[in-house]
Amino acid sequence: MKLLVTGGAGFIGSAVVRQALDKGFEVINLDSLTYAANLENLKGYDDNPKYEFVKADIRDKELMREVISSTRPDAIMHLAAESHVDRSIDGPEDFLVTNIMGTFNLLNAAREYYETLDGDARDGFRFHHISTDEVYGSLGAEGLFTETTPYQPNSPYSASKASSDFLVRAWSETFKLPVVTTNCSNNYGPFQFPEKLIPVVILNALEGRQIPVYGKGENIRDWLYVEDHAEALLVAMQKGVLGETYNIGGNNERRNIDLVTTICSLMDELAPKSHPHADLITYVTDRPGHDMRYAIDASKIERELGWGPNVTVEEGLRQTVQWYLDNEWWWRPLRERGASDRVGLASAKG
* CA 77/CA 176 separation, integer angstroms: 17
Which of left, alpha, beta for 113 (phi over 0: left; psi -120 to 50: alpha)?
alpha
CB 194 within 8 A of CB 157: no
**Residue whose CB is less far from ligand NAD, 155 or 280:** 155
Min dist CB 123 to ligand NAD, Å, is 27
Min dist CB 273 to ligand NAD, Å, is 29
Min dist CB 30 to ligand NAD, Å, is 6
User: Which one from 82, 134, 165, 222 is the annotated catalytic residue?
Assistant: 134
User: Which one from 157, 225, 246, 294 is the annotated catalytic residue?
Assistant: 157
**Residue whose CB is less far from ligand NAD, 26 or 31:** 31
- DSSP for 7-49 reads TTTSHHHHHHHHHHHHTT-EEEEEE---TT--GGGGTTTTT-T
Catalytic status, residue 123: no
User: Which one from 26, 82, 133, 222 is the annotated catalytic residue?
Assistant: 133
Min dist CB 322 to ligand NAD, Å, is 20
**Residue whose CB is less far from ligand NAD, 38 or 204:** 38
Catalytic status, residue 228: no
* CA 41/CA 296 separation, integer angstroms: 28
CB 342 within 8 A of CB 195: yes
Binding residues for ligand NAD, rule: CB under 6 A, are: 7, 9-13, 31-34, 36-37, 57-59, 79-83, 98, 102, 130-132, 161, 184, 186-187, 193, 349
CB-based closest residue to ligand NAD: 10
Rg of the chain over CA atoms, in angstroms?
Answer: 19
**Residue whose CB is less far from ligand NAD, 164 or 262:** 164
Catalytic status, residue 133: yes
β-pairing, 75-78 with 126-132? parallel
Q: Which amino acid is at 53?
A: F
Min dist CB 178 to ligand NAD, Å, is 20
Residue 202's contacts (CB-CB under 8 Å, 6 or more residues apart) are: 263, 267, 320, 321, 324, 325
**Residue whose CB is less far from ligand NAD, 42 or 257:** 42
- DSSP for 92-105 reads HHHHIIIIIIHHHH
What are the catalytic residues?
Answer: 133-134, 157
